[in-house]
Amino acid sequence: MTIDNFNHQRRRALLAHELQAIAWLPVLSPADRERASNNLEIFEVQSGETVFNMGRPATHWFGVVEGLLKMSSDSAEGNTLTFAGVPPGGWFGEGTVLKREAYRYNIQALRKSRLAGLQANTFHWLLDHSIGFNRFVMNQLNERLGQFIAGREIDRMTDPDIRVARSLAALMNPVLYPGFSTVLNITQQELAYLVGLSRQRVNEALTVLAACGAIAVEYGGLRVLNLHALRTRTVFDARPL
Digit-by-digit pLDDT tens for the chain (241 residues) are 556 555 444 789 999 999 998 999 999 999 999 999 999 999 999 999 999 899 999 999 999 999 999 998 876 666 677 778 899 999 999 999 999 999 999 999 999 999 999 999 999 999 999 999 999 999 999 888 877 776 666 666 678 898 899 889 888 888 888 866 788 889 999 999 888 889 999 999 999 999 989 999 988 889 999 988 888 866 666 555 4
Is residue 48 a contact partner of residue 70, using CB atoms and an 8 Å limit? no
Q: The domain containing residue 14 runs over which residues? A: 3-153
Q: Please give the pLDDT value at position 153.
A: 67
DSSP 71: E
Total residue length of the chain: 241
Q: Please give the pLDDT value at position 181.
A: 74
How far apart (Å, rounded) are the C-alpha atoms in residues 41 and 14? Answer: 6
Q: Which residues of 44-61 are buried (b: 16+ CB within 10 A; e: fewer)?
A: bbeeebebbbeebebebb
Q: Please give the pLDDT value at position 79.
A: 67
Same domain? For 89 and 142 the reply is yes
- Last residue in a domain, options 153, 180, 210: 153
CATH number for 193: 1.10.10.10
Same domain? For 121 and 173 the reply is no
How far apart (Å, rounded) are the C-alpha atoms in residues 236 and 232? Answer: 9
